[in-house]
Structure 1
Amino acid sequence: MTEPTKPFDPNPPRRNFYGRRHGKTLRQSQKGYLSEDLGDLRPRGITESENPDRSPIDPTAIFGDDRPVWLEIGFGGGEHMVHMAATYPEIGIIGCEPFINGVAMLLGKIRAAGVSNVSVHPGDARDLMDVLPDGAIDRAFLMYPDPWPKARHHRRRFVTPEHLIPLARVMRPGGEFRIASDIPDYLRQSREEVPPAGFQIIADTDKPWDDWFSTRYEQKALREGRVPHYLTLRRN
């Protein structure tokens, strides 16, 4: 099968966003994290106001060198992202999350852990992928994504061509894409739609990765009797 390709698009179409951006009222400490920490951690050139012509950004400017760059798509409360940053201080990891309460939680965990190899985009991962050059990402994570369980909403899932083809473009050949979910139908769709976008399944198991950190979403799934599953894919 011929791998689909999609060149950098300087004028991506306007797109819908379906998830929540705000939840319950933030605590004062969380408001402090957002006002004091987010500005220094946010990658530049992602928003339309900073980059109106959507020119490709230089990934080395995010962390100040040419270290490997990892991407977490929808980091939730940030447990996994901070764990990875602490475990692998030689890499840089960018997290994308439009839910501002999750961003505030992550910033608190970054402070507590004292990690510095992180960057935080408080928005849609597609906005970042629009401006990353080809092959910029060495590893990507999709950990317990929103399942959108109703059939009419399955097109909103991340594992659709709208998201996967841009992800394949920004990942280097041989790069690793990890997916964790407790929703059988989400895993079914992942197996069907991710490989045609330019990936090969190399592991499909109920055993987590050796460096795995169980998130609060996984703990909730286990309490409610759902079985977590872990997919590992390689960029062709």
Structure 2
Amino acid sequence: MQTAPATETDPTPDSPAEHPAHPMHKVLSFVRRSGRLDARLQRAWDNYAGDYLLDIAPAPGSLDVRDGFTLDRDYVRRTWSNDNPLIIEIGTGQGENVVAAAESRPDENFLALEVYDPGVAHTLLLAGKRGLKNIRVAQVNAPELFKACADGVAAEVWTFFPDPWPKMKHHKRRIVQPELAGEIRRTLADGGVWRIATDIEDYALHVHEVMDGLDGWRNEGGNTVSLPTGHVGKGNAELAADMPHADFTESTRFEGRVLTNFEKKGLAAGRVIHDFTYCKA
């Protein structure tokens, strides 16, 4: 998600121990926080939400999907007024990438998933200013949306620069998880792909650990990269350099991803961008 990593008060020191989630609570990949809209973004919301924002929540302010909703090809035809391939982006941030993609690829449909009000409003603003017809926005928790997707409804899923959740005990909050991978695989049409990118080395290792051994997925990368084989947490990333390393397969930079301000900042900070292409096998 191309927004600043969430912060939360945590009086306990970071440690490698992973604490199991309470069985009555969902583990979320974001912290729900109020994001006040300035006057410009409020105008964008007022002007463009009716054109682009999907009404799929059970109640105002909810990030869940209402009971009975299904994102299938019939819904795509009714909503986008065509039967073009659907691309879903998880964590659209400020909307720079998905709006640029929609503008350059008018024969494809785009669905931007974002939870934060400012990101949603900015995406609405960019799409509205360009008068785009092939993009929609859903303010929804991504795993809940994919549970409501029909089999094979999407051609591609994109997850670019998700929140890294750097503390070891928060790694369970990372969006790339086996359960979501299963839902995305079911949602993809035959031969569909999940494209992922991160500028955090430890997250790249996490992606490999989750995805490379999963049945039904094929890593389409052609580049060999060396990564540490152990995880590090916030404040001790420098320890990774002395860990044992192994070779992993990754992809060249996805040409369909524009160079956003977020990615520029990562490159300026000297970070290496890791791209992944996993194909439904």
TM-score (norm 1): 0.86
Question: Residue type of the partner of 2:45?
Answer: L
CA distance in 1, matches of 2:216, 2:253: 23
Question: Residue type of the partner of 2:277?
Answer: T
What is the Cα deviation at residue 113 of structure 1? 2.5
What is the Cα deviation at residue 60 of structure 1? 2.2
2:46 corresponds to which of 30, 35, 45 = 35
CA distance in 1, matches of 2:106, 2:157: 16
2:218 corresponds to which of 180, 184, 200 = 200
Q: Structure 1 197/43 Cα, relative in aligned 2: closer, same or farther at 3 Å?
A: farther
- Of structures 1 and 2, the larger Rg is shown by 2
CA distance in 2, matches of 1:229, 1:186: 9
Structure 1 position 209 matched with structure 2 position 225: no
Please tell me whether the aligned partners of residues 141 and 179 of structure 1 are also in contact (alpha carbons under 8 angstroms).
yes
What is the Cα deviation at residue 155 of structure 1? 1.1
1:54 corresponds to which of 68, 74, 77 = 68
Question: Residue type of the partner of 1:53?
Answer: D
1:1-50 per-residue CA deviation (whole Å, 9 max, x = no partner) reads xxxxxxxxxxxx97343524446542211001112211321234x32359
Unaligned runs of 5+ in 2: 1-23, 222-248
TM-score (norm 2): 0.73
SS in 2 for 1:225: coil
Question: Residue type of the partner of 2:274?
Answer: H
Structure 1 position 99 matched with structure 2 position 116: yes
Q: Structure 1 206/175 Cα, relative in aligned 2: closer, same or farther at 3 Å?
A: closer
Matches within 5 A, 1:139-218: 139-195=156-212, 196=214, 198-203=216-221, 204-205=249-250, 207-218=252-263
Please tell me whether the aligned partners of residues 20 and 99 of structure 1 are also in contact (alpha carbons under 8 angstroms).
no
SS in 2 for 1:179: strand
- Identity among equivalent positions (%) equals 28
SS in 1 for 2:162: coil
SS in 2 for 1:93: strand
Q: RMSD of the alignment, in Å? A: 2.2
Aligned to 1:130: 147
What is the Cα deviation at residue 213 of structure 1? 0.4
Unaligned runs of 5+ in 1: 1-12
Please tell me whether the aligned partners of residues 56 and 132 of structure 1 are also in contact (alpha carbons under 8 angstroms).
yes
Aligned to 2:243: none
What is the Cα deviation at residue 141 of structure 1? 0.5
CA distance in 2, matches of 1:77, 1:52: 25
Please tell me whether the aligned partners of residues 197 and 274 of structure 2 are also in contact (alpha carbons under 8 angstroms).
yes
Q: Structure 1 205/165 Cα, relative in aligned 2: closer, same or farther at 3 Å?
A: closer
